[in-house]
Amino acid sequence: MSTGTPIAETAGIAAPTGSPGLIQEPGTVTAFWRRLRARPSAIAGLVIVGLLILMAVFAPWIAPYDPTATDWGNVRGSPSLAHPFGGDEVGRDVLSRIIFGARASLGAGLVSVALAVSLGLPLGLLAGYAGGWIDGAISRLTDALLAIPFLILAIALAAFLGPSLVNAMIAIGLSATSTFIRLTRAQVRAVAAEEFVEAARAMGNPPWRIAFVHILPNIVPAILVQATLTIAAAIIAEASLSFLGLGQQPPEPSWGAMLNTAKNFMDQAPWMAIWPGLSIFLAVLAFNLFGDGLRDALDPRQRA
Amino acid sequence: MLRFLARRLALAVPTLILASMIIFALQQLLPGDVATALTGEERDPQVIAFIRAKYHLDQPLPVRYAYWAGGVLRGDLGESIRLQKPVSKLIVEKLPVTLELACLAMLVALAIGVPMGVLSAVKRGQAADTVANGIALWGLSVPNFWLGILLILLFSVELGWLPASGYVSPFESLSENLAAMVMPAFVLGNAIAAVMMRHTRAAMLGVLGSDYVRTARAKGVSPLRVTLRHALPNAAIPIITLGALEFGQLLSGAVLTEQVFSVPGFGKLMVDAVFNRDFATVQGVVICTAATYIALNLAADLLAAAVNPKLRRA
Amino acid sequence: MTKPLLDVRDLAVAFDTDGGAVHAVNGVSYTLHEGETLGIVGESGSGKSVHVLAMLGLIPRPPGRITGGQVLFEGRDLLALKEREIRKIRGGAIGFVFQDPMSSLNPGMTVAAQIVEPLRIHLGLDARAARARAKELLDLVRIPNAGARLDQYPHEFSGGQRQRVMIAIGLSCRPKLLIADEATTALDVTVQAEIVALVQELKRELGMAIIWITHDLGVVAGISDTVQVMYAGRILERGPVDDIFSDPRNAYTLGLLRSLPDLSGGRAGRRRLHQIEGAPPDMRHLPPGDPFAPRNAYATPRCRAEMPPLAQAPGAAPGHLVAAWYDLPDLLSREAAR
């Protein structure tokens, strides 16, 4: 997913019909863990994600050099014992920049998706549960946002907001919001039609209580899966924006921006292009693996 | 069929109008005075006054939108401040390049994704399925601008087989045009191929488990014919409609691919405009992208209807 | 009704699932003669459909698996045939009619294309001859204006007509055996009667053997020579149709008969409809004895411990076989005496 379209349909998540109380049922969480553990690829994804997060958090302690310190003796330096990943066009240590670059990538992935969920979830809940003109208005807005391809919208937003990592996160988060509105709405409508919700309504529960106590917990799994897969898309999107010069600004390290520079030195210093690309690939792969495993483990259709 | 078309069109128009409002409203995000921002580094008060009048900046937002939308409907997308050309003219120049790239990429995606998805569904749970799923996961995870760089490293820098960048019009030289487009089309098609593979696999699995496939097998039809004649045509409808959603990704991906291979298309126009703070061009490109995306989805809906006998006769 | 056409010997089928193997068919043996109509009755999960599908390699493998047995069709073991060879029998010498005519016909192909297929595969007809034959077949199954309807799609036919098309496909190559799997279940009652009547007429015309699989004893009574009752992948009782209805020897058969509304005896003759208590067994962990024992009020300790063999029922018509450790007529007469 080189441009990272976080379109819900791609994720293929089943509406949680037929499985009321997916979370509330006793033992489902344990059962879920058992199913997740049975998928080695999902566990591999989870482990890589964990390692990358540790790398980002402890970057100052792990990185051998200051990621922004230039060293004229190491300009486009070939990989060596001192600089295992080589040096870049102004002699910065590529390994250290890769380690620090994880902060921009993972940070952008997590922050933008958190933004998209915190906007999309309430709006989708409102649209799906309130119905009527509110649903109509929110749905039309979602359609219109989805009509603008994800990265194009993010680029346009980043262009108008001005280039910076924070603005890139906002742009990606806003662009991904429509996916979560649509998914939440569809899930809410599926769950709201279930008998246990009818029962809760018949017992005189107020709408807000039904929405938060009875519906929300049941749509969490699908949102979680989509969020994980969207983090993968957002990491690529951040790398894309940084590659275009609309994300992290130099000299701060970002994998996408490193690739942008590397493009100009391909014939002389190919390592400048190999490592950042590999890092993006690995991070995205890890989230995709974990997201796919999560979906399979949560998918009610796969249960015997 | 006609009624179906009309209904789809009736849904697409308001969506496009709302999208244009959103795109127009992006202006409001510009820090500081819009007129100053629109002129970029220009500080000549006369120019700013001219811009202010031209874009009706003293009017409230809805009125400004009405002026702008009226222009868009007449094909007037404004003026590129940097290039001193009408935006619509720039787009008309660049659009064919991107469309060629997108079509070739879609071809690559279909040629790789559909057979792989069919194979993996037929061989479900077997080694071929695992391999195909692995390839799809790779395709979904590899950033296409990086893949582009790697291909340039291999085929242009190391082997010298293909040009690393540039674009030749197919009317000038078809062979040179294709040589220049091979790598970009593959890079752009690669990710879509992975998505297509997944859609095809899912659709085929559904169809292969259906009662009429069992009927076909009970008639003594060979597995190959069951797959190609009985299953695949029925899987085509979801493949087409879900595949159409990937046009968005195709257009998004084109921006990066064109950047990597210096293909002078839509995406390159947009990125250059972003850096030149040429906002009229950015808006123009985005609205045209949205319109193209909606039109392509509409076309896919029609195609899906055409292969569906229930709709064909209706 | 002389030569054996189909000889099923100890057929067993299992499906592998996450929760362990599901033993769908557990040692089914019977013989079907030329021209005979066999009605197989049982609820869903009884193995009645699965065992015929498995015979012809029509269950998905994996997860399905044939774990034992032989199926001799005209002396050849179908289970030992290669895929290529069994394909020549499927749709040729053995025709199929499936349950839901809505989903069993390909929605994307015209009716002609679907009827023509087996004709070209098995009879080697050219396109023109096959089309002419397809029209004859539609006439045969009494679809009016057949010529004009050949190029229509399944959704343009009514449910009953679709089932007629299915029958035309099943009969297209003049099979020696027609297997009808719940062929009338999805249809309205009046349409059901029409289809049953049609099959009976066609049988008189064409003389093929029929295996009619259903959960509806009423349909079986009207169409079969022999009835076979299946439960949990086993045959519990089998015999001539009149004998099974008048003199059931297995408690499960009795339960099925009692759940059938009896409309013949007028108001006074009606009895309360019975329902068989309990649920079918977990096919992953079958009880050691008679699978019906846990739901059977007449079950003896031996029933729970040991599976009774399928053997001639004492005092019943020849060929009336039952698997039961208890003597049902005896128990019933004692019950009546009380």
pLDDT tens digits for C74-87? Answer: 888 888 888 888 88
Assess C17–A contact: CB distance below 8 Å, yes or no: yes
A 211-240 residues inside an 8 A Cβ radius of B = 232, 236, 239-240
Whether B14 and A140 lie within 8 Å, measured CB to CB: yes
The top-scoring range by mean pLDDT among A108-112, B276-280, C161-165 is A108-112
- pLDDT attached to residue A22: 40
Question: Ramachandran region of residue C327, left (φ > 0), alpha (ψ -120 to 50) or beta?
Answer: beta
The confidence band for B32, taking pLDDT boundaries of 50, 70 and 90, is: low
Whether A151 and B270 lie within 8 Å, measured CB to CB: no
Assess C34–B contact: CB distance below 8 Å, yes or no: no
Q: Give the closest of A5, A150, A288 to B141, CB-based.
A: A288
Compute the nearest-CA separation of B141 from chain A (Å).
5
Spatial contact of A14 and A300, defined as CB atoms under 8 Å apart: yes
The confidence band for B39, taking pLDDT boundaries of 50, 70 and 90, is: low
Closest chain C residue to B211 measured between Cα atoms? Answer: C104
DSSP string, C210-268: EEEEES-HHHHHHH-SEEEEEETTEEEEEEEHHHHHHS--SHHHHHHHHTS---TTHHH
- pLDDT attached to residue A286: 92
Over 80: is that where the pLDDT of C28 sits?
A: yes
Over 70: is that where the pLDDT of B34 sits?
A: no
Tell me what the mean pLDDT of segment A221-226 comes to.
88
Over 60: is that where the pLDDT of A13 sits?
A: no
Closest chain A residue to C16 measured between Cα atoms? Answer: A304
Where is average pLDDT lowest: A30-39, B103-112, C97-106?
Answer: A30-39
**Considering only CB atoms, which chain A residues are within 8 Å of B190?**
2
pLDDT tens column, B141-159: 898 888 988 888 888 877 8
CB–CB contacts below 8 A, B to C: 76
DSSP string, chain B: -HHHHHHHHHHHHHHHHHHHHHHHHGGGGSSS-HHHHHHTT---HHHHHHHHHHTTTTS-HHHHHHHHHHHHHTT---EETTTTEEHHHHHHHHHHHHHHHHHHHHHHHHHHHHHHHHHHHHTTTSHHHHHHHHHHHHHHHS-HHHHHHHHIIIIIIIS--S-SS----TTT-HHHHHHHHHHHHHHHHHHHHHHHHHHHHHHHHHHHTSHHHHHHHHTT--HHHIIIIIIHHHHHHHHHHHHHTTHHHHHHHHHHHHHHHT--SHHHHHHHHHHTT-HHHHHHHHHHHHHHHHHHHHHHHHHHHHH-HHHH--
- pLDDT attached to residue B33: 66
Higher pLDDT, B311 or B107: B107
Over 80: is that where the pLDDT of C133 sits?
A: yes
Closest chain C residue to A303 measured between Cα atoms? Answer: C18
Where is average pLDDT lowest: A183-192, B90-99, B261-270, B298-307?
Answer: B298-307
Tell me what the mean pLDDT of segment C83-108 comes to.
85
Percent over 70 (pLDDT), chain A:
86
ipTM greater than 0.90:
no
Closest chain B residue to A10 measured between Cα atoms? Answer: B195
Tell me what the mean pLDDT of segment C243-270 comes to.
72
- A neighbour chains, 3+ CB pairs within 8 Å: B, C
Residue C292 DSSP code: T
Closest chain B residue to C120 measured between Cα atoms? Answer: B221
- pLDDT attached to residue C262: 59
Over 80: is that where the pLDDT of B202 sits?
A: yes
Assess A288–B contact: CB distance below 8 Å, yes or no: yes
- pLDDT attached to residue A26: 44
Over 60: is that where the pLDDT of C269 sits?
A: no
Assess A304–C contact: CB distance below 8 Å, yes or no: yes
The confidence band for C307, taking pLDDT boundaries of 50, 70 and 90, is: confident
Could you give the angle at the alpha carbon of A292 between the alpha carbons of A286 and A297, nearest 5°? 125
Tell me what the mean pLDDT of segment C145-152 comes to.
87
The confidence band for A55, taking pLDDT boundaries of 50, 70 and 90, is: confident
The confidence band for C141, taking pLDDT boundaries of 50, 70 and 90, is: confident
The confidence band for B42, taking pLDDT boundaries of 50, 70 and 90, is: low
Whether B252 and A152 lie within 8 Å, measured CB to CB: yes
**Considering only CB atoms, which chain A residues are within 8 Å of B294?**
147
The confidence band for A113, taking pLDDT boundaries of 50, 70 and 90, is: very high
- pLDDT attached to residue B110: 92
Tell me what the mean pLDDT of segment B164-185 comes to.
81
Over 80: is that where the pLDDT of C312 sits?
A: yes
Tell me what the mean pLDDT of segment B43-62 comes to.
75
pLDDT tens column, A122-166: 999 888 888 788 888 898 888 888 888 888 888 888 888 888 888
- pLDDT attached to residue B4: 75
The confidence band for B185, taking pLDDT boundaries of 50, 70 and 90, is: very high
Picking from B83, B78, B80, B72, the residue whose alpha carbon sits closest to that of residue B57 is B78
Report strand pairing: C37-41 vs C226-231: parallel
Tell me what the mean pLDDT of segment C265-284 comes to.
64
Report strand pairing: C321-322 vs C311-312: antiparallel
Assess A245–B contact: CB distance below 8 Å, yes or no: yes
- pLDDT attached to residue A302: 42
Please give the C-alpha separations between residue A48 and each of A53, A107, A288, B69, in angstroms, as whole numbers.
9, 16, 11, 49
Residue A214 DSSP code: I
Over 80: is that where the pLDDT of B36 sits?
A: no
Tell me what the mean pLDDT of segment C217-236 comes to.
86
Whether B141 and A1 lie within 8 Å, measured CB to CB: yes
Higher pLDDT, B301 or C212: C212
Among C15, C16, C17, C18, the strongest candidate for a mutation testing the A interface, having the largest count of A CBs within 10 A, is C18
Where is average pLDDT lowest: A245-259, B100-114, B213-227, C272-286?
Answer: C272-286
Over 90: is that where the pLDDT of A115 sits?
A: yes
- C neighbour chains, 3+ CB pairs within 8 Å: A, B
- What's the whole-number average pLDDT of chain A? 79
| B232-244 and B87-122 helices, crossing angle to 10° | 140
